[in-house]
Structure 1
Amino acid sequence: MVYVISQDGKPLMPCSNTIARLLLKQGKAKVKRREPFTIKLTYETTSYTQDLTLGVDTGSGTIGTAVSKNNGDIVYISEIIVRNDITDKMTQRAKYRRNRRNRKTRYRKAKWLNRANSIKNDRFSPTMQSKLHSHVKEIEYIKSILPITKLVFETGQFDMHLMKNPSLASPKVKHWGYQKGANYGVENIKAMVLNRDNYTCQCCRGKHKDSKLEVHHIIYRSQGGSDEADNLITLCHTCHKALHDGKINPKLSGKTKGNLKYATQMNSIRKQLFRLYPGAIETFGYITKANRLRLGVNKEHYHDACTIATQGDSFALKTNLYKKKCISDGDFQKTKGIRSEQPIETKKICGFRKFDKVRYFGKEYFIKGRMSTGYAILMDIEGKKIDFSSMPKGYKTPKLNNCMRIAARTSQIIQTVAM
């Protein structure tokens, strides 16, 4: 299937590969985009289109989209992996910046209360901006190649307090449980843990006569431990120090951090999407699940999107699946090493950049890394390094001269999967 754009840039109904080939051969169209393959007409034509419904399976990690005709034919499906590395990158960058300042090599003035971006109205964090932008970018791209008439979003309103404490679902608990939480009547979580443990060391039970009590994380925060009471215990200073020194090893069971941050993010993304697309229809996950089970299709994000687009009716896939992964716009690290003594080449090497899509011996890969000697490390769209150890001598490490670039680096890498 080939997507068609009119001479004045408006999306038309897609056509078959045969018709697109004839239009290109006769000079009536030109190639607009390689993947997905899109042509633009060079002559005036009618703008008749059919009704198309875009279904979006929103998500904090993976997004699924599908476009359906009224008869259930799916003319576009995609699955997008959004970025979840922004927080770690910003934390690392802040660490490097503090290190420079401690060495008295400031590159710019330190900021404290003059950060205008942090106090402006309707501010979104960088992670949330990226995830919302990933949704909007895919929706706007689909609207640029297909005449969408209806939008359907699968969203959810998550109750984090109920997810933490399922007993609130009981009518006997619900009426007071939302007013009296775990920290009700105490100053903070530390005071609650001390009160819960009766101000007594839970290891020596007061045998050390140490009056200094401390709250200990059973599973360390560096190992993903939670700050909730289930992962905290009261210890005296003597036992606490002995535990960290490895002198004692009490059998304690803790709790790791939950993944409620993704539910919180989806609450915000849902609100912003309906603010940007006020005419969109909302559906929910339990409806999609029931329809998908009735249709007997596998649990995939793009299958959910197809079910959302057809609103529960049967569908037929008439197109390929386009897998996409969001990446950073570019590499900005200039050097590496303890004292930044090793320069990093951020420009092209042999005409290639990182994340360029290349063809190597008939197969398509992405550049994971480049070497100044002219060699490269290739990967698939999941980021897995490709092993060429079975290749003949001289081809076990790919050479950039043997690669043919078929797509330059953008903010997304794309791979077509035949369905």
Structure 2
Amino acid sequence: MAVFVLDKQKHPLMPCTEKRARLLLERGRAVVVRLAPFTLRLKDRIGGAVQPLRLKLDPGSRVTGLALVRESETGDADTGAVERLEHGLWFGELVHRGQAIREALTLRRHYRRARRSRKTHYRAPRVLNRPRREGWLPPSLQHRLDTTLNWVERLRRLAPITALSQELVRFDTQALQNPEISGVEYQQGELAGYEVREYLLEMWHRSCAYCGATNVPLEIEHIVPRAKGGSDRASNLTLACRPCNQRKGSRSIEDFLQRQPVRLHQIQAQARAPLQDAAAVNATRWALLNALQTTGLAVETGSGGRTKFNRTRLDIPKTHALDAACVGAVDQVRDWNRPVLAIRATGRGAYRRTRTFNNGFPRGYLMRHKRVHGFQTGDWVSAVVPTGKKAGVHIGRVAVRQTGSFNIQAPAGTVQGIAYRHCCLIQRADGYGYAFQPKPDTEEARRAA
């Protein structure tokens, strides 16, 4: 993974390799600014030549893929064709906490409703006294927008980014380069089938609708067979493995699943139900695009079908970060097989002073101050325990207690009861947890694509 580099005045320079970063540190020419993402600051340099970098985004309802690439163009002297070549430098996956925010707001609403029903001296329910501003989004969706923009600004401070790319339309009927195309050409373009198939994979959770098989080749199946008047609409399509597809043949789904009425009802209901994840993305896609355009950088957009078309054509496994690398017009992608920084939004704590039981009654009280002996929950620490059952080096996020006995959430698991005197601060809590994922070259990732 590339290492971010800042000059003496904290202006971004071109990222360097890990080997060069080690040499700079060994020779005393640089100091470490951050560990995640790993960033150096040079002591003896101001300014320097930079190359155009592009930050590519694959917004999702739960995870947003981030890819920082260096662009170059290669041309053929004979034909005059120009290809867009991208070199992967840094990859990240931002895990949102929108579902946690939604659950917390639902729990708060239940608590308030219970207090009013007990006829206590709390305020009455508010009705129509909170007008919503134009462009208002629910807190769970606003969180996705804010965290994505936050990381765009962070990476702009660490690297000389000159352009942005966003997957704007998740599922389009057809996205072609020529807007004037129509008729049969429109239906049989180079992206034909990719938009619909990507929609069905999300709609049916990448599994067979009839037997639930996963990690197997899936085929597009008509719920109402075409031989009996079934259409090619997305509401009449599902996914099935080859054995189920062959057994069903041209039979109606009621006949094929007459002994499985529960599964029959689930398939018919799911075919009519909207795709919630796609609805969440569609609700924020234009707000994200408008916010990215205010940065003053050139913003490129692409559809989800084109992203999958590029990934399949280039034989790249499916991950959120690599999906981001394939957004927009791409001819070649190199150096994509790199580790991925997993960024999980953890929040910065809560205002409440107590925890509760399932029935809502208080259970103990929380500390009044967040910091204990200079440490705060969420800090990244390194604990060196010399003796005892927990002897060794433990690195991870810390959870503080007022007694001074901390818990450390290490990659191998949580280590409890570490004294504060053994802990050394590595990086202050910033509302995110970090972990490194292995290189995405597994066979499971390729089958999932």
Change (3 A) 1:397 1:8: closer
Change (3 A) 1:32 1:149: same
Deviates more, 1:304-313 or 1:82-91: 304-313
Match of 1:280 among 290, 299, 302: 299
Change (3 A) 1:341 1:81: closer
Question: Which amino acid letter does the alignment assign opposite residue 362 of structure 1?
Answer: V
Is residue 133 from structure 1 mapped to residue 146 from structure 2 by the alignment? yes
Q: What is the match of residue 379 of structure 1?
A: 409
CA deviation vs aligned residue, 1:232-282 (integer Å, no higher than 9, x gap): xxxxxxxxxxxxxxxxxxxxx995795622211211222112212343111
Q: What is the match of residue 246 of structure 1?
A: none
1:107 CA displacement: 6.2
Change (3 A) 1:57 1:138: same
What does residue range 294-309 of structure 1 map to in structure 2 within 5 Å? 294-308=313-327
Q: What is the match of residue 253 of structure 2?
A: none
Q: What is the match of residue 147 of structure 1?
A: 160
Deviates more, 1:407-416 or 1:97-106: 97-106
Match of 1:266 among 256, 277, 281: 281
Q: 2: CA distance between counterparts of 1:38 and 1:318?
A: 21
Q: 2: CA distance between counterparts of 1:7 and 1:105?
A: 61
Aligned 8 A contact 1:51 1:149 in 2: yes
Change (3 A) 1:370 1:102: farther
Aligned 8 A contact 1:158 1:264 in 2: no
Change (3 A) 1:13 1:310: farther
Aligned 8 A contact 1:67 1:74 in 2: yes
What does residue range 87-236 of structure 1 map to in structure 2 within 5 Å? 87-103=102-118, 106=121, 110-116=125-131, 119-158=132-171
Q: 2: CA distance between counterparts of 1:265 and 1:159?
A: 16
What does residue range 234-383 of structure 1 map to in structure 2 within 5 Å? 260-278=275-293, 279-308=298-327, 311-317=330-336, 320-337=339-356, 339-340=361-362, 342-345=364-367, 347-360=370-383, 361-367=392-398, 369-379=399-409
Change (3 A) 1:352 1:96: farther
Q: 1: CA distance between counterparts of 2:172 and 2:326?
A: 25
- The 3-state SS of whatever aligns with 1:32 is strand
- Tell me the TM-score normalised to structure 2 length: 0.62
Aligned 8 A contact 1:357 1:366 in 2: yes
- The 3-state SS of whatever aligns with 1:149 is strand
1:105 CA displacement: 5.2
Aligned 8 A contact 2:3 2:21 in 1: yes
Q: What is the match of residue 428 of structure 2?
A: 408
Q: 2: CA distance between counterparts of 1:319 and 1:173?
A: 45
Question: Which amino acid letter does the alignment assign opposite residue 155 of structure 1?
Answer: L
Deviates more, 1:261-270 or 1:403-412: 403-412
CA deviation vs aligned residue, 1:9-33 (integer Å, no higher than 9, x gap): 4321113445545655676544332
Q: What is the match of residue 391 of structure 1?
A: none
Aligned 8 A contact 2:303 2:327 in 1: no
CA deviation vs aligned residue, 1:163-191 (integer Å, no higher than 9, x gap): 89x999x9x999xx99xxxxxxxxxxxxx
Q: What is the match of residue 88 of structure 2?
A: 74
- Look at both structures and tell me which one has the larger radius of gyration over its CA atoms: 1
Question: Which amino acid letter does the alignment assign opposite residue 290 of structure 1?
Answer: F
CA deviation vs aligned residue, 1:198-222 (integer Å, no higher than 9, x gap): xxxxxxxxxxxxxxxxxxxx99xxx
Q: 1: CA distance between counterparts of 2:3 and 2:393?
A: 23
Change (3 A) 1:104 1:302: same
Q: 1: CA distance between counterparts of 2:30 and 2:122?
A: 52
Aligned 8 A contact 2:172 2:305 in 1: no
Q: 1: CA distance between counterparts of 2:120 and 2:425?
A: 40
Deviates more, 1:12-21 or 1:120-129: 12-21
Structure 1 gap segments, 5+ residues each: 179-217, 220-229, 232-252, 389-395
1:66 CA displacement: 0.9
Is residue 5 from structure 1 mapped to residue 6 from structure 2 by the alignment? yes
Change (3 A) 1:294 1:348: same
- The 3-state SS of whatever aligns with 1:362 is strand
Q: 2: CA distance between counterparts of 1:41 and 1:296?
A: 38
Change (3 A) 1:405 1:106: farther
Aligned 8 A contact 1:68 1:309 in 2: no
Aligned 8 A contact 1:2 1:39 in 2: yes
Change (3 A) 1:115 1:24: same
- The 3-state SS of whatever aligns with 2:113 is helix
Deviates more, 1:42-51 or 1:65-74: 42-51
Q: 2: CA distance between counterparts of 1:271 and 1:19?
A: 40
Q: 2: CA distance between counterparts of 1:387 and 1:33?
A: 23
- The 3-state SS of whatever aligns with 1:59 is coil
Q: Size of the alignment, in residue pairs?
A: 335
CA deviation vs aligned residue, 1:127-172 (integer Å, no higher than 9, x gap): 1110111221122222111111221212325589x989x999x9x9
1:311 CA displacement: 1.6
Q: How large is the RMSD of aligned CA atoms in angstroms?
A: 4.1
Change (3 A) 1:138 1:286: same
Higher strand share: 2
Q: What is the match of residue 194 of structure 2?
A: none
Structure 2 gap segments, 5+ residues each: 73-84, 174-198, 204-221, 236-260, 384-391, 440-449
- The 3-state SS of whatever aligns with 1:72 is strand
- Tell me the TM-score normalised to structure 1 length: 0.66
Question: Which amino acid letter does the alignment assign opposite residue 73 of structure 1?
Answer: H
Q: 2: CA distance between counterparts of 1:63 and 1:46?
A: 32
Change (3 A) 1:159 1:30: closer
